[in-house]
């Protein structure tokens, strides 16, 4: 039985999120935690077993756009991403399911095609694009490719609760002039950081964005994480601007960062590696 399996990474929040020239956008932070979808033909009616709701919507949208009908298609999903935490679980689910269905239809999935499909369902993370990108997560109208992923890790915690991404993004954020100025400065730092491969600039920008976001969706452990990042030589902090995770960006060799976070006693920390976004084939 021929199958088509695709993995799409989640995120550990965003390196930056805000408003630039009147358009909402974010800078992606894809990590090595995935949703995996498999499409195969089993001789029965189309079935979307074991699919979370957003993945089902992605599979159905891809089916509608297929150039020919796939009457015997079955789609299944496995995911290590927990919804409501700001780790791009919905984007990963939607894109993985849609990409698997597209492959089953005989076509290569295109990133722009997956993005249009996903944005039509809900605000979408730039993790479905290769590399690190700036992306308009609400309209999908603009995309800036900043570069390839840095060789860094994120040690993070879940600060508690969950956030409904659709509901959160439904309201237009009203940034103050000082916040807009800080967001633009942070974005310019990130652009320079990727141009020069200077991860301290990227970490500073991400920390600044996290502090702006404290006035919108506060993280109770943020200042303590910022202090720990400074004390252990981390590059800065990263947060989910519409979720609950927050962590420290650091060099891959800095194993002691997780221990320092654990000493906070807030929540058990976890560690992920920043990687390039985009869908990838799962090899069996």
Q: State the pLDDT at residue 44.
A: 64
Q: State the pLDDT at residue 46.
A: 65
Alpha helices in 110-176 (DSSP H): 111-119, 165-170
Q: State the pLDDT at residue 168.
A: 80
Strand partners, 17: 26
CATH superfamily of 150-273: GHMP kinase, C-terminal domain (3.30.70.890)
**Which DSSP string do the residues of 3-33 spell out, in sequence order?**
EEEEEEEEEEEEEEEEEETTEEEEEEEEEEE
Q: State the pLDDT at residue 48.
A: 79
Strand segments (E) across 159-267: 236-239, 245-251
Residue ranges per structural domain of the chain: 3-146+276-281, 150-273
Q: Which residues of the chain have pLDDT under 70?
A: 1, 43-46, 49, 67-69, 172, 284
Look up the CATH number of domain 3-146+276-281.
3.30.230.10
Q: State the pLDDT at residue 1.
A: 60
Strand segments (E) across the chain: 3-20, 23-41, 73-79, 132-135, 143-147, 152-158, 236-239, 245-251, 270-273, 280-281
Q: State the pLDDT at residue 154.
A: 97
Q: What angle is formed at CA 234 by the lines to CA 230 and CA 239, rounded to 5 degrees?
A: 95
The secondary structure of residue 129, as a DSSP letter, is: S
Q: State the pLDDT at residue 68.
A: 62
What whole-number distance in Å separates Cα of residue 218 and Cα of residue 240? Answer: 10
- Quick one: which of 72, 85, 91, 82 has its CA closest to 8? 91
Q: State the pLDDT at residue 179.
A: 97
In tens, the pLDDT along 141-153 reads 889 999 999 999 9
């Amino acid at each position: 039985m021929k199958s088509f399996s695709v993995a799409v990474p989640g995120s550990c929040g965003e390196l930056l999120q805000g408003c630039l020239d009147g358009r909402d956008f974010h800078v992606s932070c894809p990590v090595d935690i995935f949703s995996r979808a498999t499409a195969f033909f089993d001789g029965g009616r189309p079935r979307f077993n074991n699919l979370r709701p957003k993945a089902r919507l992605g599979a159905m949208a891809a089916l509608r756009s297929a150039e020919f009908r796939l009457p015997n298609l079955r789609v299944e999903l496995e995911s290590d991403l927990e919804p409501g935490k700001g780790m791009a679980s919905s984007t990963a689910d939607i894109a993985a399911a849609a990409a698997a269905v597209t492959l089953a239809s005989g076509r290569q999935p295109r990133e722009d095609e997956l993005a249009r499909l996903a944005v039509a369902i809900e605000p979408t993370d730039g993790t479905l694009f290769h590399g690190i990108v700036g992306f308009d997560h609400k309209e999908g109208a603009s995309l800036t490719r900043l570069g390839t992923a840095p060789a860094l890790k994120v040690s993070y915690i879940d600060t508690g609760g969950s956030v409904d991404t659709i509901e959160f993004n439904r309201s237009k954020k009203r940034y103050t002039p000082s916040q807009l100025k800080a967001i633009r400065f942070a974005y310019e730092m990130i652009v320079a950081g990727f141009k020069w491969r200077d991860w301290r600039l990227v970490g500073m920008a991400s920390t600044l964005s996290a502090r702006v976001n404290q006035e919108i969706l506060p993280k109770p452990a943020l200042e303590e994480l910022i202090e720990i990042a400074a004390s252990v030589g981390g590059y800065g902090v990263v947060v989910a601007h519409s979720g609950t995770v927050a962590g420290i960006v650091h060099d891959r060799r800095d194993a002691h960062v997780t221990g320092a976070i654990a000493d906070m006693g807030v929540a058990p920390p976890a560690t992920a590696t920043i990687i390039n976004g985009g869908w990838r084939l799962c090899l069996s």
